[in-house]
Structure 1
Amino acid sequence: MTGTGLTDEATYDRTRIEQWRAGKALSRRGMLRLTAGGSLALTAFGALPSGTASAATPIVKPLPPEIFEVYGTNAETRWEAMSGQGYLTPVERFFVRNHTATPTIDVGTWRLKLFGTGLSGGPVEFSYRDLLRLPSESITAAIECAGNGRSYFTSQQGQSVSGTAWKLGAIGVARWRGVRLSTVLVKAGLTRHAVDVLPEGLDADYVTGGVNLGKVRRPLPVAKALQDVLLAYEMNGRPLPPDHGYPVRLVVPSWAGISSIKWLGRIEVSETPLVSPWNTQYYRLLGPGYPAEGTLVTRQVVKSAFELPWNAEFAAGGRQVLRGRSWSGNGRIRRVDVDTGNGWRQAKFVGAAADRGWQRWEIPWRAGVPGAHTLRARATDITGATQPEVTPHNTQGYLFDAVVRHPVRVV
C-alpha cells in the first residue's frame, strides 16, 4: 500500500508537499480556489448525510463560570476546576472546541458513509447499530486543541497572534470506546492503492470572511488510519454527549485535536492525495523562521499546568501542597520540576499515567513573605523534550510549549 510509513504527521506533510511540487497533488493555491465554495467532495457522493437537525446551539451542556471560560462557540476548562478530580476529565468539565455550533443529530437516521476511489465496491453505509455490532476497543487519550496556550504568546512574549485566546484549558483526557477505523475501512472494501482518507463532520459549513470553506474535515494517511484511530461512540463509559461528537467521532491519538473530527458523517477514501483548508490554510506554523508554505501542526508539545486559579491567594507562612498535570504528544512524562521562587525542585508523581494522557504531580511549598509570587512548572517527556523559556513565534499561535509563569499572592 502506498505510503505505509506515513504514521507521523510531519513525514506525511513533507511527502504531500513534494507531491504538490511534482504536480501529483493539488497545489495549496489551487486547493484554496477549489475549497472557496465548499467541500472538495460535495459532489462525490450526492447529498450530505441525514441526521443533522435544522436547529443548533453553540454549546449544549451547562457552562458554569466556575468551571468554564467561554469564547463564543468554545469553552475552556478552568484549571482550578480540575483540582480534586481523578485522572479522567469529567464530561461536564471537558473543554469544547466548535468551529460552528453543536448539531442535533437523530441517531436513528444517522449513517456513516464511506466512498471514493480507494474502495473496491463503491459507496458503503454503516448505521449506529452496525458499529455497535463490530468488535469494540477502549483507549485512554487526551484531545487537545492545537491553539492551547495561545494567549501566552501575547501575555508572556508580547507577540500578536490570531485565534481564540486559550490559556491551558483546551485539553481533556477521557476513556474512549468504539470501533477501530481500520475495521470499518476493511469492511468497506479498502484497496491496496488507497493513500488518504478524509473524515468530515456533520456540523454546519464553516464560513469565514464571507468565504464558505465547507464542512470541517482534515485528511489522514491510510497508514495512520489503520494504525490506532478510533471511531468512538462512548466517552467515560457513557454515549458521547452532543458537544463531544454524538453519535460518533474520531479519536486520533497523539495528533492535533483538529484531526479528531466530531459528529462524523462521511469519509472519503482515495487513491490520490487529499487536502482541505484544515491542513493547508489553517493548522500550519506560518511566519518568520518557517518555509513559505508553513509547517504542518503535528503532535502536541510538552506542557504543564497548576490546578490553581490565576492569582490564587495563600496565607503567609502556611504549608501548601501544589498540584498540577503535565503532558506531551510524544508520550509519557519523565520528570516535572517546579520553581516557587527559589530554584527548581523535582515534583512527586501522583498515580499512574497513560501513554496518551497526562501525569499528575505534587510538591510541598511554604508560602513566604506577603506579596506577589510566580510559580513555574517545567516537564520533560520520554523523548527528552523539555519545556523551553520561549516558544518560537507563529502567526496563528499554535503549539505554545514555553514554561508558563503562574501568578499567585501571599497574604
Structure 2
Amino acid sequence: MELRRPGPRDLCTAGDVPPPPGWARSPFVKALPPELFTVHGSCAEMRWEAMRGQGRLVPNDRFFVRNHTRTPLVDAATWRLRLHGSGLRSSPSLSYRDLLALPATTIECAVECAGNGRSFFATQQDQPVPGTPWRLGAIGVARWRGVPLSVLLHRAGLTDSAVDVLATGLDPEYAERGVNLGRVRRPLPLAKALDDVLVAYEMNGEPLPPDHGFPARLVVPGWTGIASIKWVGDIEVSATPLTSPWSTGTYRLFGPGHPGEGSAPLTTQVVKSAFELAWNAVLPAGRTHVLTGRSWSGTGRIVHVEVSDDRGATWRPVRLTDAGPSWTRWRYAWSPPGPGPYALTARATDETGAGQPLRTAYNTLGYLFDGLVEHPVTVVG
C-alpha cells in the first residue's frame, strides 16, 4: 500500500492517510503531555526542562519519538526476524522467544536524530532549511539490552565476501511527493555491524515501548539515529554494496562545498550542549540560579564545558558532575548581573578535541548542527 506524504524532504508528518488495521491511529502510542514534549507532526521532541533532576538516562515516558509515518503495533507472537542475502550461508528466521534466548548484553547509548538542532539554521544563522524544526530535544540516552548483531550474523554464517548489512523496519511504507520509498531502511558497513551494534528488545529495564521499536530494533552507538532502525523485521547481508533512499537522497550533506550527489552517508554525530531549562525561561533577579545541562558527542567523552551569558564575550568553566559514556552532565551557579534579557550559551569539547563552532557550515537539509545555541532567558526584578 502506498502512503502519500506530501511535503519537503525529510519533513516529519503523518499526513491524513487513515491507517490500515494493526497500525496506531495516531502517529504515536504513548501519551505526549505538553510539559514533556513539543509535537512536530509525527515526531515528538523532548522538552529539556523535563530532564532537570533526572538521572543520566532519559525515562521512557519522555524519550523523543522520530517517526517517518506512524508507530506500528506488532504482535510479538507472530513477529519474525529474517536474516538473508548473498553475504550469508543460511537464512534463519527468529521468533521473539528465539531472540530472547540468545546471549544478551546491555549498553548505555544515545540515539539522536541527524537533524537535531535544525531549527537554529533559520533562527540563528538566517539559513532556512526544510524538515522537522528540532531545537535540541531529538536525543535520548537509554540502557538497552539485546543481542549483539554480530552474534546473529555469525550464527547465520557470514561469507568472506559480505560487505553491507541492511536492516528494514516494519513501519508503514513512506512516500514523498507521490513517490513510494518503501519501508525505512539504511545499510551499515559490515565492520560497524560487527563492532558494537545491538538488536535491542529492552529499554531501561522494560520491553521496548511500541514507539521505540517493539519488539526489536537496532541500536548503533555513536551514529545518527537513522541507523538505529526501529521495529526491525528483516536484515539483509550482501556481498555487494547496498543503498536505500535513506543513504542516497537524504542523510547526506548537500549544498555548498559538497558534490552534486552529496557527501558520504552520515555516520558519527557531532558535539552539542543543552541547558535543562525551559526555552524563554523567566528567572527572578537578585539570587543565584544553579543551571544544569548536558553535553555530548558521537566521537568521544566530553572533557570540558564552558558557559557564557553575554553571547560569547566571556566564558566560564562549569563543574562536570557525571561524565558518562553517552553524555556528560554539568552544573553552573549563575548570578545574573541584573534584570533583563539574556542569551545563555554552553560549549563543549570532547576527548578527541572536537568542539562547537560559532556557526555550523550550511547544508540544504539541516543536518549535524553543532554551532553555539543561544538559549533565551529573561531575568525579572
Aligned to 1:96: 65
For 1:261-410, what aligned pairs fall within 5 Å after superposition? 261-295=229-263, 296-341=265-310, 343-354=314-325, 357-410=326-379
Judge conservation of contact 1:335–1:379 (CA < 8 Å) in 2.
yes
SS at structure 1 position matched to 2:49:
helix
Q: Any gaps of 5 or more consecutive residues in structure 2?
A: 1-19
Aligned to 1:166: 134
| Rounded Cα–Cα distance in structure 2 between residues aligned with 1:130 and 1:327 | 35
Aligned to 2:76: 107
Superposed displacement of residue 331, structure 1: 1.4
Judge conservation of contact 1:368–1:410 (CA < 8 Å) in 2.
no
For 1:195-214, what aligned pairs fall within 5 Å after superposition? 195-214=163-182
Q: Aligned-residue CA RMSD in angstroms?
A: 1.0
- Note if 1:250 corresponds to 2:221: no
**Residue type of the alignment partner of 1:333:** I
Superposed displacement of residue 188, structure 1: 1.3
CA spacing shift, 1:53–1:117, aligned 2, 3 Å: farther
**Residue type of the alignment partner of 1:86:** G
Superposed displacement of residue 289, structure 1: 1.3
SS at structure 1 position matched to 2:73:
strand
| Rounded Cα–Cα distance in structure 1 between residues aligned with 2:152 and 2:21 | 26
Aligned to 1:39: none
Aligned to 1:132: 100
**Residue type of the alignment partner of 2:316:** R
**Residue type of the alignment partner of 2:319:** K
Q: Number of aligned pairs? A: 357
TM-score where L is the length of structure 1 = 0.86
For 1:33-48, what aligned pairs fall within 5 Å after superposition? none
Aligned to 1:237: 205
**Residue type of the alignment partner of 1:319:** T
- Note if 1:225 corresponds to 2:196: no
| Rounded Cα–Cα distance in structure 1 between residues aligned with 2:218 and 2:355 | 29
Aligned to 1:8: none
SS at structure 2 position matched to 1:200:
strand
Using the aligned pairs only, state the percent identity: 62
Aligned to 2:143: 175
TM-score where L is the length of structure 2 = 0.92
| Rounded Cα–Cα distance in structure 2 between residues aligned with 1:58 and 1:93 | 16
Judge conservation of contact 1:315–1:367 (CA < 8 Å) in 2.
no
| Rounded Cα–Cα distance in structure 2 between residues aligned with 1:351 and 1:384 | 19
Aligned equivalent of 1:61, options 24, 30, 33? 30
| Rounded Cα–Cα distance in structure 1 between residues aligned with 2:111 and 2:74 | 22
| Rounded Cα–Cα distance in structure 1 between residues aligned with 2:150 and 2:169 | 19
Judge conservation of contact 1:314–1:367 (CA < 8 Å) in 2.
no
**Residue type of the alignment partner of 1:397:** G
Aligned equivalent of 2:155, options 187, 190, 196? 187
